Chain A
C-alpha cells in the first residue's frame, strides 16, 4: 500500500477548501449518513463499529462500539458529546480534523448519535482553539441548511440538534465527566464513578463522550464496512491512526498511518529522521502522560496498542514527542510536572497535593539543593498517587515521572549534592507513642 491508500481521515488535509460542504459532498461525503439513516438500524451501526475494532482515540483506547452499547436499552433521553478539548501536551491531531475537514467529524457525529439515539449533541472545543469554533460552527450551519441536521434528517424521522460549545481552557475538561460538568455549568472537575456517563452523565441522563478522531472514523466504517477498516492495522489495533509528531525531526506534523507500522519505518520514512546535528534520545509516544521510552527501546516497537503496552508505555492520544540527545531530561520532567500541577482540578487529595509536591521536588533537584533521598521521595510520592484518584490525571503525572527516573536516573543523580544526607531524626520517636 502506498501512503495515499490509507488516508482515511486525512484525505482532505492538504486541500485549502476541504472544510466546505460542497467539497466534502463531491468527495462522497454524507453518503454514509444517508445509508445509515435509510437502511441501517441503530443496533446494526453499533455492531459494525464494534466489529471494526475501532478503539477510542482520545487516549484510553476503549472500544467505541462497546461504549455505545452501555447506554441502557430504551433510554428516552440520550446525549452525545464530541470531545474536542484536545489539550494533552504533544497532541494536535483533532484540531487538524476540525480545521481541514469538519464535515467528516460532523457526519460521524450524526451517525453516532443515530446509533445511540441521541437527539442533542455538543461539540466541545478547547477554549484556546478559538478559530476552530467558527470553523466548526460554519460547518454545522451548512449541515443544517442542507438538511443533515435538525428535524427529520433526510426524511428518516430522526432529529438531531448540534451545539458547538467552547470550553474555558482547562486540561481536566478533556476528561469525559469533567467535560460534562463544564457544560452543565459546574466546576470543571471529573464526576465520581460509578455511575459512568453512558448510564448517567449529562443532566443525569445516558451520555456518550467520544474523541473527535473516533467519531471521524465512523463514516468510513459505515461506507466500506468493518472488514475494509480492519484491513488496516493489526488484529487488536484496527484501522488507521493520526500521529501528531513534535520535536527536532526533519518533518514534524500530523500523519495518518495504519496501526502496527514499525516505529523505525515511520521515523525514517515519514519523519525523515532527526534534524542534522541531533540524535534521538527518547520518545514520549502517546502524549505527555505516557511513560517515556529511550531510543533503543522505541526503535524496536511497532506503533499499535499491544506492542507499545508490551514495551511498558501506551499509544495514548498519538501525541509523539521526539526528544533529542541535547535535551536535559530533568528539565523536561520539570516542565511536565508543572503542567500536571497547574492542571490538577484539586478535588482528590493525592493529586492535588501530590502533583504540587512532585513539582517542588524536581525544582529543588534542579536548583542543586536535592539529595539522593529526594529521588527516592519522588517515587514515594508517585506511590501515593497512582490509581488512587477519581480520574487518571494523577496517573498521567506519575507515568512520566516514574519512567523518567527509571530510564534516565543518572541525569537526576548528577544533580544531587556530594555529601550524604543526614538520617532524618524523628522529633517524636515511635517508641514513645506505641
Chain B
C-alpha cells in the first residue's frame, strides 16, 4: 500500500495504482479528462488531468503517473486550476459550439467541464475557427462530425484494442488532424456504437438516436439485453412510453462497459407495428373479460394437453408455466432456434436471453419433429408461451390440426396466426423479471415503459390461467412468484433482492 496526501487529505491505495484513480478516491470525483478511459490504454493527449506533485518541477498528468508512497499531490490549487482551465480553452477554440443542434448536449464532456472549471469568455472570433468535415456517415450506425472532435483517440484505441478491427485512425497533423477511416473502409463491426458511448463530445453520434430526443428528457431503467445469452447489462433510455436507445451498463462480470450493436437494436421490436395489443379469439378482437370467458370454457380442472415455453421468457414465467403444466407434457420450445454468428467478445450464437433458465428449471427443449410429435399426441388444449414455435413448418402443420391452441405472444407471428386464442403478453422492457445468462448468472431486468395496448405481464396471464385450471396457491404478485421460485431452484440468494451485478450460483467462476 502507498500513502499519499491529495489536497491535504491522506489516502492509502494499493501499490501500482494510477494517480488518476487515487485522485478520484480522494476528491470524490474524477479529475477533468477526455482521453483517459479505464478500459483503454493511456494516451495522455488531452492533457486535462494535470496535477502538481510536490518535488516535481512541472505539472504532470495523473493518468500516466503511478502512485508513490509519500507523494504529496495538489489537484485544486491555483496553478493546477489555471492549467486545466487554459487547456479546456484550447479544446474549445476550434469547436463549433453548436450545442443547440448537437445530440451530445446534456451529456457532453465539453459542456460539463466548461461549467465546472471553464466559465471564461471566448477569445476567438467565429471566422477564425478551423473547419473540418461535418456529418460524415462512417458506418452503418455511426456518424462523424470532425469539428466537434477533441481528438482524444478513445474511438481509435477502442477499434484497435477492443475489437481489433482498426477502422479508425487520425489523419493529417497539427490542427488539421482529424479522426477518419481510410478510403473504402467503414466503421462496421459488431461494436461500432460503443465509440459513440466513449466519445466524450458530439463527434461520434448514433445514426439511430440522432435528432430523436434531447437527452435530458430521457428517463432510465436498468435492464438486461434480451438479444443473446450473454445478458449484457443495459440501461433503457425512454420517455413517454417510447424507448430511444439502449446503453451498456457497467458489469465487470458480464459485459464490462460494452455491448454489441445488435443488442442495441433489440428495443426496436418493442415498438414494432406487428405488436399484439388486444386479446383475440378466432381472429376476432376481444376484451380481457371476453377472453377470460373463452378460456374458462376451453380449459378446466383437467388442465392442458401440452404446455410449450420458450427461452425468451423470464425465469419467473417459466417457473409458473411449469406449475401450470403440472402433469401435462412440458416443452421448453424449439431446441436450436434463434441462433446466429458468435464473436469472441460478447455476442453469443444463442440469440435468446434465458436458455440457461430453462435448464435450471429442468425444462427440456425439442427439435421441430419432436415438438410436432408432442403436439400431435396431445389431448386437450395446447398452451404456448412466446417463442413462435410455428416458425418451424412441421410444428406449424401440427398446430394447424389442433383447434384449441392458446398463444401468449407479443407479435403477430406464425404461431399467433394459427392459435384459436391469442393473448398479448409484455415484452422484456415492459415488465420485470430474471434471465439466466450463458454462465448461469441470474440477472434482473426492470420495467422501463408502459405495456403496449392492452398487453399484460405474462406472470399475471399465467396466474389467471391457473385460476381457470382451478389450481391452489395462485400467486398474487411477482414477489410471491419469486419466493416460490427460490425454493424450486434452491439458489442461495433472495430473488427479490438480486445484487446489482447479478448472482452466480456457486460463486464467481473465472
Query: Which residues in A have some Cβ–Cβ distance to B below 8 Å?
Result: 170, 172, 187, 189, 192, 194, 341-350, 352-357, 360, 377, 380, 383-385, 387-390, 424, 426, 430, 433
Contacts and interface: CB of A to CB of B under 8 A. Distances in A.
A339 B229 CA distance: 56
26 contacts: A170-B173, A187-B169, A341-B174, A344-B174, A344-B175, A347-B153, A349-B46, A349-B48, A349-B150, A352-B90, A352-B175, A353-B90, A353-B91, A353-B94, A354-B90, A356-B174, A357-B93, A360-B128, A383-B82, A384-B90, A388-B47, A388-B87, A390-B44, A390-B45, A426-B121, A433-B115
A356 B123 CA distance: 14
A298 B176 CA distance: 38
A354 B86 CA distance: 10
Contacts of A353: 90-91, 93-94, 175
Contacts of A189: 173
Contacts of B150: 349
Contacts, number: 99
The bracket for how many chain B residues form the interface is: 35 or more
A357 B173 CA distance: 15
B47 A342 contact: no
Given A342-B174, A377-B123, A424-B121, 6 more contacts: A187-B170, A346-B172, A353-B91, A387-B58, A388-B83, A430-B119
Given A383-B86, A426-B121, A433-B115, A192 B44 contact: yes
A433 B120 CA distance: 12
B118 to A, nearest CB: 10
Nearest to A389: B47
B63 to A, nearest CB: 9
B59 interface: yes
Contacts of B94: 353, 356
Contacts of A384: 83, 86-87, 89-90
Most buried by A among B87, B94, B172: B87
Contacts of B58: 387
| Residues of B contacting A: mostly | loop
Most buried by A among B50, B121, B150: B121
B43 A355 contact: no
A343 B42 CA distance: 24
B170 A346 contact: yes
Given A194-B64, A352-B151, A353-B93, A346 B177 contact: yes
A346 B175 contact: yes
B130 interface: yes
B82 to A, nearest CB: 8
B177 to A, nearest CB: 3
A433 B128 CA distance: 27
Contact of B173 (A346, A350, A380, A389): A346
Interface string B35-63: 00000001111111010000000110000
Contact of A192 (B64, B169, B170): B64
Contacts of A342: 174
A348 B170 contact: no
B123 A347 contact: no
Contacts of A344: 173-175
A380 B64 CA distance: 26
A140 B123 CA distance: 54
Question: 10 closest A-B pairs (Cβ-Cβ)?
Answer: A384-B86, A346-B177, A356-B175, A192-B44, A353-B90, A344-B174, A346-B173, A347-B45, A426-B121, A346-B174
Interface string B158-176: 0000000000011011111
A349 B90 contact: yes
Contacts of B169: 187
A50 to B, nearest CB: 23
Contacts of B90: 349-350, 352-354, 357, 384-385
